[in-house]
Structure 1
């Protein structure tokens, strides 16, 4: 990373270890943040095209918790199984197995596409005491005010899959397109924070294994949403939503929370789909209250 994180000081004080585990036939890389004797353990699942680094800013404000942050199969340092289709069923099955191997009974957190994966997994039987959804995808992506933009993204990923492999992969990793995506999502007017956000996307947004796994994940992300699983999730659930989110409008999130048997919604103003970069302290505060994590005086 070439741009310093505004949260670097907090992160530097956070213990972190890297590990690998075999899950469903491939190595999953994961990182463990925080004290080993923490009272609360979370599994944090990142969003589409991202990897575990994307959630570090939030973790920096939760130093009392133990947080396990894997890279999804096919992204970052986690390998996919060659030839396997990574649809939502596969990602949910992967998360259920990962949790059983690494941290059974942990609280589960998902951001963006991770909100779909975690919701599907919990609805399918993943045992967790509580579920946290940050920037949850609350409605079909092809509907609503941004449906046209989603259809353009569908064409983009379809073209990347159909072109000769070298050209298709180059298109999908094109830096200019990644920057346009980043500019569209960032809402902050702070130039230093905007530089950090763009650098994060430049650095980590193209670390996918191959165009096949990227296409599969994209199809899963636009073919499903949290509302499909909400009524089947019987654990206390926290939704952390942004009032300026272009992907799922806040009005949709206000309806989504009513679909859960036991859920609450925390709204964050003046931010869009990048809560984890722009307002991580506010997100961590909501998580802390939901999980009743006391603030450590040492921090």
Structure 2
């Protein structure tokens, strides 16, 4: 039985539509949240303008649902949330290794197809994909990174656990197919990952987080895609691309993140030509689940979006 979402009532007020588009040789499933491009909102001068559009890229092993708690607090925006190739309802890219180059190319082509010049947002692994794409030429007026991977995962506060994860994904790839896939989708291991990341002491919120991971964390196409994406996630970090990004960038970082310590996030902010760092206390790598209202507030201020009436 699904665990009730603390954010369901807010999300129910937002229009959500599912779409598909062909990019990079494959078909990408994506969802739009909020006002459509046809829905116009009056500006201060009394004229009409289209709603601001954001493309939101989820993290490793996730899919578009993971960012919904943040979107629930941003009803003023039009947000396009795709499932990464090989995850959720998006099929793998045919004939491709799902490395960072492939994901960056996919995001660049996806943005060009559905929302040229949209603001780009990435969470966790999505922060690496978004940064690589923008540094590589994806045009965007602004970049937003939530829980950015600002240092090598193997060097983080829980580098030992990351090394164990390397062994885990390597074993999953080497075992016979059925056995390897079963290991990678093992419910006890998924729950262990969820427990390790959650910081909240709110029992209802913890149940919701674990329920989300139970439901979506194993929604990958096959073990090859998962292995490729994992290797990409631990072989790269945002530092590689920050010096080549010249658009205003917002970093929303957690002070208790076990993957990238806050000191590394502070150093990361200095590598951009124009970056703002917002730190959120008492939360780890799950800002999008545990403190979505704070994250949404930072995004709204960064984009200079007024709060919608009645929200």
Q: Structure 1 length normalisation: TM-score?
A: 0.99
Helix, strand or coil: the match of 1:67?
strand
CA contact (8 A) 2:35 2:51 kept: no
Secondary structure of 1:179's match?
helix
SS at match of 2:145: strand
| Counterpart position of 2:54 | 42
- Which whole-Å deviations, capped at 9, do the CAs of 1:51-84 have from their partners, x for residues lacking one? 0000000000000000000000000000013442
Secondary structure of 1:267's aligned partner: strand
Cα deviation, residue 91, structure 1: 0.2
Q: Which residue matches 1:18? A: 18
Residues 182-221 of structure 1: matches in 2 within 5 Å?
182-221=194-233
Partner of 2:2: 2
In structure 2, how many angstroms separate the alpha carbons of the residues matched to 1:61 and 1:144? 30
| CA distance in 1 between partners of 2:156 and 2:64 (Å) | 29
- SS of residue matched to 2:268: helix
Residue among 289, 294, 297 paired with 2:306: 294
| 8 Å Cα contact 2:283/2:291 also seen in 1 | yes
1:238 aligns with 2:238: no
Distance 1:252 1:82 in 2: 36
Q: More displaced, 82-91 or 256-265?
A: 82-91
Which residue of structure 1 lines up, in the alignment, with residue 33 of structure 2? Answer: 33
Q: CA separation in 1, counterparts of 2:203 and 2:307?
A: 30
Show the counterpart of 1:223.
Answer: 235
Counterpart position of 2:119: 107
Instruction: Describe the SS at the equivalent of 1:238.
Output: strand
| Unmatched tracts of structure 2, length 5 or more | 40-49
Once residues 7 and 308 of structure 2 are traced to their aligned partners in structure 1, the CA distance between those partners, rounded to angstroms, is 18
Q: Is the 8 A contact 2:10 2:73 kept in 1?
A: yes
**Structure 1: runs of 5 or more not aligned:** none
> For the residues of structure 1 that align with 2:81 and 2:161, how far apart are their CA atoms?
30
CA contact (8 A) 2:25 2:94 kept: no
Q: Residue 171 of structure 1 aligns with which residue?
A: 183
Of the candidates 267, 271, 274, which is equivalent to residue 279 of structure 2? 267
Q: Secondary structure at the match of 1:266?
A: strand
* Count of residues in Structure 1 that have an aligned counterpart in Structure 2: 299
Shift of 1:163: 0.2
Using the TM superposition, give the Cα deviation of residue 39 of structure 1 relative to its aligned residue in structure 2, in angstroms.
2.5
SS state of the match for residue 259, structure 1? coil
Alignment correspondent of 1:58: 70
SS of equivalent residue, structure 2 residue 132: helix
Q: Find out whether 1:252 has 2:272 as its counterpart.
A: no
**What's the RMSD between the two structures over aligned residues?**
0.8
1:74 aligns with 2:86: yes
TM-score by structure 2 length?
A: 0.95
CA deviations 1:86-121 (Å, max 9, x no partner) are 100000000000000000000000000000000000
- Return closer, same or farther for 1:28/1:117 CA change in 2, 3 Å cut-off: same
Q: Aligned residue for 1:142?
A: 154
Q: Which residue of structure 2 aligns with residue 121 of structure 1?
A: 133
**Once the 2 structures are TM-superposed, how far is the Cα of residue 143 of structure 1 from its aligned partner?**
1.6
**Residue 225 of structure 1: how far off its partner (Å):** 0.1
* Deviant stretches of 4+, over 3 Å: none
The SS at the match of 1:142 is helix
